[in-house]
């Protein structure tokens, strides 16, 4: 066992007593099982098929330290305001802990419940037990087990039946500590016919740290969610973020995943579809220098008449490496399933690398499923065409690359988030004439 893993396991007994929900038998057992699993297996290995392209052995060289309380964490108010979306309820998590004093909750409808996971485990333990761990399975891989054992706080969000929110909810994750470990667990529940927009934003200080978050989302019958993830971690940071969704019959979910930051970043987006449920997964990852960005998606069509669409794009420069593993599973009784997956990668240097692995597992016979994968460089004919119209070569390449990536930003219907992402995109391709 590595020194870091020894440090994690050796100090866990003392740490566990400070974690929320330790007076609950079911959670204490769940944590104990997750701790045993992590202690036995450590962090995921490239020997595991689902991690064959991503080596996280660097995490075994240094044990990151969880912050037991974020009340003393210093966050610059002006900087934080820049990270908070205009026209949104903003829920701020600092170093793994919910900070109500930094959050924006004014005018939240009375029927909507938003509290920290620590408080929910004290006051809503029965409700939490109904959902906790039912979408994210610790047996999936040891990062989920790690989060289950070590999570320090998070959020519980409950949107009752027929409640339609007119503003998005932003869950803003901030890490301030060098060598810090921010482990959060979020639970989002929507009742039947409810509707909401959910945004997770990951940012941090210019430091080396580990951010490990698991969000479980349950979408009721005929409910609708538009979810976004914007990962802009420090260039020295390690990131694992998993969203695990369960959709009831006729539920609709659209998820947009944007990964720009981190030294090594992994996102899991998994969803289970019940009868006639629909989902759309979109993603854009931009890698520069030696960044490693891994996106792992899975769509489980468990019942008939499901519809899914998936489009992921990657732009990789320098010695960056991008990974896309998309898996669609159609169960035996999931007849009339309609699913399509697309992954396109643009390599801007000879040293950049893209690994893509689409998977279709179809056990039904009356379905329509397909996928398309491309990896390539810019079309030289298109570059030449722009040059022939008076555009210099560097600008021409930037224009074409921007157009390739901006297709995913254009899918965003939330104006404040779209403006932020467009600004981040333009930092990679700084041509002011692109902006309308």
3-state SS, residue 10: helix
Structural domain boundaries of the chain?
Answer: 1-260, 275-377, 390-436
Tell me the pLDDT tens digit for each residue of 244-293.
Answer: 999 999 999 999 999 999 999 999 999 999 999 999 999 999 999 999 99
With bands split at pLDDT 50, 70 and 90, how would you rate the model's confidence at 434? very low
CA-to-CA distance for 77 and 222, rounded, in angstroms? 39
Please give the Cα distance from 161 to 190 (Å, whole number).
7
* Banded model confidence at residue 63, pLDDT cuts 50, 70, 90: confident
| pLDDT-above-90 percentage for the chain | 85
**pLDDT the model gives residue 10:** 82
Task: Report how far residue 267's alpha carbon sits from residue 260's, in angstroms, rounded to the nearest whole number.
Answer: 12
User: Are the CB atoms for 146 and 175 separated by under 8 Å?
Assistant: no
pLDDT score, position 429: 72
Interatomic CA distance for residues 100 and 102, integer angstroms: 5
Cβ pair 424, 232 in contact under 8 A: yes
Which run of H or of E encompasses 209?
none
* pLDDT value, residue 14: 80
Q: What's the pLDDT tens digit per position in 6-37? A: 888 887 888 888 889 989 999 999 999 999 99
**276 phi-psi bin (left φ>0, alpha ψ -120 to 50, beta other):** left
3-class DSSP assignment, residue 372: strand
Q: How many angstroms separate the CA atoms of 8 and 132, rounded?
A: 23
Residue 436 has pLDDT above 50, yes or no: no
Distance CA 210, CA 266 (A): 12
Query: Residue holding tokens 């499901």?
Result: 306
Mean pLDDT over the full length of the chain: 94
How many angstroms separate the CA atoms of 176 and 190, rounded? 31
In angstroms, how far is CA 100 from the centroid of its own chain? 23
Residue 434 · residue 278 · CB < 8 Å: no
Interval 131-155 mean pLDDT: 95
Query: Residue 122: its pLDDT value, please?
Result: 95
pLDDT at 219: 98
Cα distances from 137 to residues 134, 211, 245, 257, in angstroms, run: 7, 19, 12, 21
Pairing of strands 153-159, 113-116: antiparallel
Q: What backbone phi and psi angles, to 5 degrees, belong to 416?
A: -65, -40
Q: Which residue has the tokens 């998070």?
A: 154
Nearest to 98 by CA among 35, 6, 184: 184
Q: Which of 346-355, 360-369, 426-435 is least confident?
A: 426-435
Q: Please say if the pLDDT value at position 4 is more than 50.
A: yes
């Amino acid at each position: 066992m590595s020194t870091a893993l020894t440090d994690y396991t050796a100090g866990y007994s003392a740490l566990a007593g400070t974690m929320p929900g330790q007076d609950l038998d079911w959670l204490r057992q769940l944590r104990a099982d997750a701790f045993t699993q992590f202690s036995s297996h450590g962090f995921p290995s490239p020997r595991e098929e689902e991690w064959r392209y991503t080596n996280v052995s660097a995490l075994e060289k240094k044990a990151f330290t969880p912050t037991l309380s974020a009340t003393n964490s210093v966050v610059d108010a002006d900087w934080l305001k820049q990270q908070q979306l205009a026209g949104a309820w903003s829920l701020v998590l600092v170093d793994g802990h919910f900070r109500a004093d930094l959050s924006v909750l004014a005018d939240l409808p009375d029927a909507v419940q938003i509290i920290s996971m620590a408080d929910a485990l004290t006051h809503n333990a029965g409700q939490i037990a109904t959902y906790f761990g039912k979408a994210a399975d610790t047996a999936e891989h040891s990062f989920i087990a790690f989060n289950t054992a070590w999570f320090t706080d998070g959020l519980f969000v409950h949107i009752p039946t027929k409640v339609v929110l007119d503003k998005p909810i932003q869950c803003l994750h901030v890490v301030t500590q060098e060598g810090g470990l921010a482990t959060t667990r979020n639970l989002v529940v929507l009742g039947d016919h409810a509707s909401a927009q959910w945004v997770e934003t990951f940012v941090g200080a210019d430091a080396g740290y580990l951010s490990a978050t698991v969000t479980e989302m349950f979408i009721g019958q005929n409910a609708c969610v538009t979810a976004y993830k914007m990962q802009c971690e420090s260039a020295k940071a390690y990131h694992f973020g998993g969203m695990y969704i369960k959709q009831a019959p006729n539920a609709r979910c659209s998820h947009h995943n944007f990964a720009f930051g981190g030294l090594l970043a992994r996102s899991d987006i998994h969803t289970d579809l019940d009868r006639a449920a629909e989902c759309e997964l979109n993603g854009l990852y931009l890698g520069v220098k030696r960044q490693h960005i891994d996106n792992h998606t899975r769509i489980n069509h468990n019942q008939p008449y499901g519809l899914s669409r998936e489009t992921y794009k990657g732009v990789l420069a320098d010695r960056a490496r991008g990974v896309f593993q998309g898996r669609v599973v159609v169960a035996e009784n999931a007849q009339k399933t309609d699913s399509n997956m697309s992954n396109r990668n643009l390599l801007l240097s000879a040293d950049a690398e893209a690994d893509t692995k689409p998977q279709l597992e179809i056990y039904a016979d009356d379905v329509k499923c397909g996928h398309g994968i491309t990896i390539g460089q810019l079309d030289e004919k298109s570059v030449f065409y722009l040059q022939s119209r008076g555009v210099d070569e560097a600008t021409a390449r930037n224009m074409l690359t921007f157009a390739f990536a901006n297709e995913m930003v254009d899918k965003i219907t939330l104006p404040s988030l779209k403006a932020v992402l467009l600004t981040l995109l333009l930092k990679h391709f700084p041509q002011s004439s692109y902006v309308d």
